[in-house]
């Protein structure tokens, strides 16, 4: 295998990593803070993708001269819409199911099925494609044998910016202090005067918004359908558990490791065998480190 092939495979793994990281960050925040197993997280990703699709349709119809900037509007709209939906979902349903993980799992699974049917009924039962803006077409020629698609470079940059913003929110703001306090010890945080219910609602909305950004990014890689989110939900849970449920650094590291493994394994074997091999390795690691590779020690 020559150097050019090595570089292309590594970049493919990086592209997989960005989608997994954006999906897993939101799930890790929700799962780590509230212990909520959100089976509708994949449909929130699809919702974000459909927001970008709707934005593209609107710009094509009414603002065709501004098509080069619709992508930023689509990303922002995806975050806002999925965040608002997450806030309403937490306020109407999730808050009544805390400390009941099986009920939460079943309820969010039902929400995912409802959302899939809504996508089929009111948007399109078939997969839809979002047009690529002109400045993201083509590729950047790194060397004679290595060319990197401009759209994937943009997704990598978007993922890195999102990760930095999440870090700043959690570690440099008052809300971040409250979120981390509730994560480490909910009872003591409440005794210190932190409104844990507001923190839960805000955090759930944030996690859903990150899934929306992941969905908006996904439209630059492939078409979107009602069941698109289901293709990523299992991989996302694997990333969160493998890295450590309450460690954002672990989630990012785990997404990178699994993204690279998937790229390299699929190069040497079939897609199904690659997934099976990754699952076996994850199971072996979790046998020796049941809390994940980068689990943090917290006081309960």
Q: Tell me whether residue 52 is in a domain.
A: yes
* Predicted local distance difference test score (pLDDT) of residue 91: 92
Q: Tell me whether residue 278 is in a domain.
A: no
What is the per-residue pLDDT across 224-259, written as a single tens digit (0 to 9) for each?
A: 899 888 878 888 888 888 887 667 788 888 888 888
- Give CA–CA dist 234/22, Å, rounded: 14
CA distances to 46, 101, 189, 298 from 186, in Å: 32, 17, 5, 11
Q: Tell me whether residue 120 is in a domain.
A: yes
Q: Tell me whether residue 100 is in a domain.
A: yes
Mean pLDDT of the chain: 86
CA distances to 6, 9, 231, 260, 268 from 1, in Å: 7, 11, 30, 16, 11
Q: Tell me whether residue 142 is in a domain.
A: yes
Q: Tell me whether residue 298 is in a domain.
A: no
Q: Which of 33, 47, 28 is nearest to 86 (CA)?
A: 47
CA distances to 12, 171, 287 from 299, in Å: 39, 19, 23
Q: What is the mean pLDDT of residues 13-34?
A: 82
pLDDT band at 271, cuts 50/70/90?
low
Q: Which two tokens stand for residue 44?
A: 């929130």
Which residues have a Cβ under 8 Å from the Cβ of 270 and sit 6 or more positions away?
A: none
| Residue 158 belongs to domain spanning | 3-232
What total of structural domains would you count in the chain? 1
Cβ atoms 2, 145 nearer than 8 A: yes
Tell whether the torsion through CA atoms of 94, 99, 103 and 108 is positive or negative: positive
Radius of gyration of the chain (CA): 19
User: How many secondary structure helices (H) and strands (E) does the chain include?
Assistant: 11, 2
Which residue do the tokens 């078409």 mark? 223
Q: Which of 42, 33, 40, 72 is nearest to 196 (CA)?
A: 33
What is the per-residue pLDDT across 136-165, written as a single tens digit (0 to 9) for each?
A: 887 877 777 777 888 888 988 998 899 899
Q: Which of 206, 246, 220, 247 is nearest to 157 (CA)?
A: 220
End-to-end CA distance of the chain: 50
Q: Which of 274, 251, 224, 268 is nearest to 33 (CA)?
A: 251
pLDDT over 60 (residue 81): yes
Q: What is the mean pLDDT of residues 20-44?
A: 84
- Give CA–CA dist 121/156, Å, rounded: 33
For strands 147-149 and 139-141, give the pairing: antiparallel
Q: Tell me whether residue 86 is in a domain.
A: yes
Q: Tell me whether residue 68 is in a domain.
A: yes
Q: Which of 183, 212, 188, 184 is nearest to 200 (CA)?
A: 183
206 exposure class (CB count in 10 Å sphere: 0-12, 13-18, 19+): buried
The proportion of the chain whose per-residue pLDDT surpasses 70, expressed as a percent, equals 95
pLDDT over 70 (residue 295): no
In whole angstroms, what separates CA 215 from the centre of its chain?
8
């Amino acid at each position: 295998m020559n150097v050019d092939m090595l570089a292309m495979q590594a970049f493919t793994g990086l592209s997989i990593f960005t989608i997994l990281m954006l999906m897993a960050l939101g799930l890790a925040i929700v799962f780590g803070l509230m212990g909520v197993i959100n089976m509708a997280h994949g449909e929130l990703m699809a919702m974000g993708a459909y927001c970008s699709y709707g934005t593209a349709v609107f710009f094509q119809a009414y603002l065709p001269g501004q098509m080069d900037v619709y992508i930023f509007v689509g990303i922002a709209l995806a975050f806002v819409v999925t965040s608002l939906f997450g806030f309403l979902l937490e306020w109407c349903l999730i808050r009544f199911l805390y400390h009941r993980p099986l009920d939460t799992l079943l309820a969010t699974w039902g929400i995912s099925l409802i959302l899939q049917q809504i996508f089929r009924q009111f948007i399109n039962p078939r997969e839809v494609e979002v047009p690529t803006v002109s400045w993201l077409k083509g590729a950047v020629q790194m060397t004679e044998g290595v060319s990197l698609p401009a759209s994937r470079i943009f997704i990598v940059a978007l993922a890195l910016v999102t990760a930095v913003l999440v870090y700043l929110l959690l570690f440099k703001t008052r809300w971040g202090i409250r979120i981390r306090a509730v994560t480490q010890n909910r009872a003591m945080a409440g005794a210190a005067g932190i409104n844990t219910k507001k923190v839960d609602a805000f955090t759930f909305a944030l996690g859903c918004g990150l899934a929306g950004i992941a969905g908006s990014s996904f439209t630059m890689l492939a078409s979107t359908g009602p069941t698109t989110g289901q293709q990523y939900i299992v991989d996302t849970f694997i990333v969160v558990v493998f890295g450590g449920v309450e460690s954002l650094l672990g989630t990012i590291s785990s997404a990178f490791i699994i993204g690279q493994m998937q790229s390299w394994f699929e190069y040497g074997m079939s897609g199904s065998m690659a997934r099976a091999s990754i699952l076996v390795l994850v199971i072996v690691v979790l046998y020796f480190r049941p809390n994940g590779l980068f689990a943090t020690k917290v006081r309960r």
